[in-house]
Amino acid sequence: MENFTQWHITFLGLEHFGLRVLVLLLSIAAFYFSWLSIKIISPLAKRLLLLLLRASGILLILFLLFQPQVEQKEVLKLKNKLVFLLDNTKSMTLHGGDTDVSRLQLVKDFFKDNAAFVTELHNNFDIDYLSFSDSVKEISHHDIENGLVCDGTNTDVIQTLKLLKKRYENTPVRGYFLFSDGADTRELPSSVNKLEILSNSANDLSAPVFTFSPNNRFETRDVSISHISYNYFTFARNPWKARATIKILGYKNLRLPITLKQGTEIILTRMLETGNEKELEVDLSFSPYTTGSFLYTISLPLQAHEAITENNQVSFLVKVVRDKIRIMHVCGQPSWDERFLRGVLKSDPNIDLISFFILRTPTDSSGARSEELSLIPFPVDELFTQALNSFDLVIFQNFDYRPYDSSFFRFSHYLKNLRDFVTQQGGGFMMIGGDNSFSNGGYNGTALEEILPVRLSPEKDSIDNSRRKAVITDDGNRHPVTTFENNPERNLEIWKELPELDGCNITFPRNDDAVSLATYPSQGNPPLISVRDVGEGRSMAIATDSLWRWNFISIGKGGSNRYYIRFWQNAIKWLTKDPVLNPVNISVNKETALPGEEVQIKVDVLGSNYQPLKDVHVEIDVTNEFSGKSVFATHGTTGNNGQYISHLKHDKEGYFVVKAMAKKETNEIGRDHTVFRIASENREFKDLSIRRDLLGALATASEGRHFDLPTKNIKGTLSLENPPVVKLVGKRQISLWDNGYIFIIIVFIVSTEWWIRKRSGLS
């Protein structure tokens, strides 16, 4: 860099060229006529003096008219700039093939192997060193020697080129040296051509880009799950699907078992034959049966010499929610019990009800041809095979299956499906009494009896036709199905006020996990309403077909039907495992948080009456999903709103299970859990391939060149233009005409000329 000064004279007055010529011509004419007027004056010396004065006057007037100005410029001579760009994302730490050489080491080696070339560049150019990922940072040459920290989590070449254009907009850059593996992680819409955008951005730099990337020999060997497409929420009992994209680098003919897990439980495994494929897509599907947020993990086994192991496993959260509650209602005959129950179910907008009523039995004679009847075939096979899983609850109301147990339909087989629907798939089942229910319907000894909360008589039921009031049990007075009011005493009173029922199927209590909620106060106090958690699902038995009386008779007695409606609402919620009935409910305000970000954990505790429960001791424990190690534990007491809120900050990434347990004194009220994730976004290891195509296109578009690393002697193959560059650093303007001296000189010349002329006898 050196400094020097330049001078320029400019004229500000009479900008028009023609005007300037006219003024000059007029001046010459004035001078000529002056000469003519003083020609007679002698001596010659006086004449020449006058002529000189006149000429001086005219020149000074011209000086004023042309307004001359001197410009002084301070100019700096500059060096051209070169920019070295180094990819500092995590993928640069990957080792190539079977070597122990990382991608970054190849970059470091370039500067070592071409030290003379780099020194020469330093002498002739002004050099900037920058690292880039999804942002650009200044570094020094020493950073490369000392070891660049590769902690960038996203490679965004397009964004980098845009930032360079802005940064060097008025700088004479003669070239960019870009060192990268080209693993650009920026995701663009499928309709956009990334190569085209990259090329355009490179072209906009107006300087060649020389790109450097590891050669074929350093291609990474890796098996990865590069992408998962899935619905982050799904409906219980509906198929959930995920599509995993598997990338295979450096391997052939692998047999890869791919596994899907929910938490630590394996849900399904599929075997993949990779052949020569570099990319495979795998569809995985299963039906969740319980609602909530769950952590799912898709994983592949590790292969020999894999560059990284982290991308063999992908975890993600899926929220399983309930759609409308789908109920299949099969009724053996139209009755008032069916009529009022259907009224409740149909009036609930959250229930999707499919009813099948047996309006005519084989022994009935309708007296009409079948086309004159509105009866439809009972789609037994369809309902109890493939369609069964789409329901949340199946109700058999006074229904005898045996007329459908023909050699064609074999309804008894469907009873096994129904048992499995409850025990394995978490469905709900309810049997309502009547002349065709329980063992009168032939269910004793069948698969269905296994799931009922009552034991059946090996023979036909005896039916107690006496009219009596149901009696709630101690368990029933606390159970969500039979709790109508908060206060237990009041609840007992309500049950006493309910109208009498009109008979009961005599069944027997089970001694295992079934709970009797109400009994019929006839001989032996047979169970009237019983419930049971059975396998994954729940079942309920109502041993009467006269519950409708709690509705209509209550109205007739001046009461209301609200307890009848509440009973059915409670029953359906309980049978379908509505989370509302869970006494302890835990939730987090963020499903995915950044490291160090605050996560709110809220625990709601309800009493058996569904009301918020205050002064309850709550314990919270947060553990790492995979290691099981506790990372946070706290405890507290619920307030008046039945809530306890805590906050957690954690720096480590991972999936975390939050468990809460609530207890009052020594009695445990309940437990709940949820899952959340702490993660910073890192897409670097989704695709480990070296994108020479992308870097090559970038170089071509900018009229640069692509080089494979290692490159030991670049000096012989690369020459750079280095034209001179100057820069104006200062400027000063000096006006020559607008000052008092010019005016005084003009006055002096004109006065002198006038005095001489007077003395010579001229006017």
Partner 1 sequence: MGDASKFTFAQLEYSDGNWNTRPNAGKRLMWELIKRTSIEARIDIITLRLHDPELFEYPFLYLSGSREFSPFSEKEIQNLKLYLEFGGTLFIDDSMGKSNFGFDKSIRREIKRLFPNRQLERLSPDHSIFKSFYLLDQAYGRIREKPFLEGISIEDRTVIIYSQNDMGGAWAKDPLGTWEYEVIPGGEAQRTMAFRLGINIIMYALTGNYKQDQVHLPFILKRQL
Of the ranges 277-285, 307-315, 529-537, 546-554, which one interacts with partner 1 (CB under 8 A)?
546-554
Of the ranges 36-44, 56-64, 335-343, 529-537, which one interacts with partner 1 (CB under 8 A)?
335-343
Tell the smallest beta-carbon distance from residue 438 to partner 1 (Å).
Answer: 12
Measured CA to CA, the distance from residue 109 to residue 708 in angstroms comes to: 13
- Any contact of residue 359 with partner 1 (CB under 8 A)? yes
Name which position in 147, 257, 301, 334 contacts partner 1 (CB under 8 A). 334
543 phi/psi in degrees, rounded to 5 = -90, 40
β-pair partners for 646? 601
- Any contact of residue 520 with partner 1 (CB under 8 A)? no
Measured CA to CA, the distance from residue 612 to residue 583 in angstroms comes to: 9
- Any contact of residue 357 with partner 1 (CB under 8 A)? yes
- Any contact of residue 502 with partner 1 (CB under 8 A)? yes
Name which position in 100, 169, 376, 511 contacts partner 1 (CB under 8 A). 376
Of the ranges 156-164, 192-200, 417-425, 430-438, which one interacts with partner 1 (CB under 8 A)?
430-438
- Any contact of residue 441 with partner 1 (CB under 8 A)? no
CB 41 within 8 A of CB 760: yes
Name which position in 222, 337, 420, 753 contacts partner 1 (CB under 8 A). 337
Measured CA to CA, the distance from residue 244 to residue 230 in angstroms comes to: 9
CB 528 within 8 A of CB 518: yes
Residue 609, SS3 per DSSP: coil
CB-wise, 415 or 506, nearer to partner 1? 506
- Any contact of residue 378 with partner 1 (CB under 8 A)? no
Which residue in the block uniquely carries the two structure tokens 């305000």? 589
Name which position in 74, 323, 381, 435 contacts partner 1 (CB under 8 A). 435
Tell the smallest beta-carbon distance from residue 429 to partner 1 (Å).
Answer: 21
Cα-Cα-Cα-Cα torsion 344, 346, 349, 354, nearest 10 degrees, comes to 130
Measured CA to CA, the distance from residue 308 to residue 688 in angstroms comes to: 9
- Any contact of residue 355 with partner 1 (CB under 8 A)? yes
Name which position in 9, 25, 59, 555 contacts partner 1 (CB under 8 A). 555
Tell the smallest beta-carbon distance from residue 554 to partner 1 (Å).
Answer: 9
Output the six-digit token pair for 523. Answer: 């001989």
Buried b (16+ CB within 10 A) or exposed e, 493-513: ebbeebbebbbbbbbebbeee
Name which position in 522, 561, 587, 682 contacts partner 1 (CB under 8 A). 561
CB-wise, 122 or 557, nearer to partner 1? 557
- Any contact of residue 497 with partner 1 (CB under 8 A)? no
CB-wise, 401 or 644, nearer to partner 1? 401
Number of residues that make up the chain: 763
- CB 255: neighbour CB atoms within 10 A? 9
Name which position in 311, 335, 425, 491 contacts partner 1 (CB under 8 A). 335
- Any contact of residue 368 with partner 1 (CB under 8 A)? yes
Measured CA to CA, the distance from residue 548 to residue 433 in angstroms comes to: 12
CB-wise, 88 or 333, nearer to partner 1? 333
CB 141 within 8 A of CB 129: yes
64 phi/psi in degrees, rounded to 5 = -65, -40
CB-wise, 18 or 362, nearer to partner 1? 362
Tell the smallest beta-carbon distance from residue 522 to partner 1 (Å).
Answer: 12
Tell the smallest beta-carbon distance from residue 521 to partner 1 (Å).
Answer: 15
- Any contact of residue 552 with partner 1 (CB under 8 A)? yes
CB-wise, 271 or 368, nearer to partner 1? 368
Measured CA to CA, the distance from residue 298 to residue 291 in angstroms comes to: 20
- Any contact of residue 36 with partner 1 (CB under 8 A)? no
Tell the smallest beta-carbon distance from residue 415 to partner 1 (Å).
Answer: 21
What is the 8-class DSSP label of residue 332? Answer: S
CB 222 within 8 A of CB 250: yes
Name which position in 118, 553, 622, 699 contacts partner 1 (CB under 8 A). 553
Of the ranges 165-173, 427-435, 474-482, 616-624, which one interacts with partner 1 (CB under 8 A)?
427-435
State which amino acid sits at residue 225: I
CB 186 within 8 A of CB 156: yes
Name which position in 168, 230, 336, 737 contacts partner 1 (CB under 8 A). 336
Strands (E) located in 79-172: 80-87, 125-132, 136-139
20 phi/psi in degrees, rounded to 5 = -65, -45
CB 294 within 8 A of CB 318: yes
Tell the smallest beta-carbon distance from residue 683 to partner 1 (Å).
Answer: 46
- Any contact of residue 557 with partner 1 (CB under 8 A)? yes
Distances (CA, A) of 390 to 378, 387, 426, 460: 18, 6, 11, 33
CB 503 within 8 A of CB 435: no
Crossing angle of helices 103-113 and 115-124, in 10° steps, is: 70
Measured CA to CA, the distance from residue 175 to residue 347 in angstroms comes to: 75
CB-wise, 387 or 742, nearer to partner 1? 387
Name which position in 420, 545, 578, 672 contacts partner 1 (CB under 8 A). 545
Number of residues forming the site for partner 1 (CB under 8 A): 53
Tell the smallest beta-carbon distance from residue 400 to partner 1 (Å).
Answer: 10
CB-wise, 374 or 511, nearer to partner 1? 374
Q: Which of 398, 457, 481, 394 is nearest to 449 (CA)?
A: 457
Which residue in the block uniquely carries the two structure tokens 């080129």? 161
Q: Which of 292, 291, 308 is nearest to 300 (CA)?
A: 308
- Range 450-489, binding partner 1 (CB under 8 A): 463, 465-467
Name which position in 15, 100, 371, 459 contacts partner 1 (CB under 8 A). 371
- Any contact of residue 562 with partner 1 (CB under 8 A)? no
CB 220 within 8 A of CB 249: yes
Tell the smallest beta-carbon distance from residue 637 to partner 1 (Å).
Answer: 45
Name which position in 12, 22, 115, 373 contacts partner 1 (CB under 8 A). 373
CB-wise, 354 or 746, nearer to partner 1? 354
Q: Which of 318, 306, 188, 196 is nearest to 247 (CA)?
A: 306
Instruction: Tell me which residues touch partner 1 (CB under 8 A).
Output: 332-340, 342-343, 346, 353-355, 357-361, 364-368, 371-377, 433-435, 463, 465-467, 502-505, 544-546, 551-553, 555-557, 561
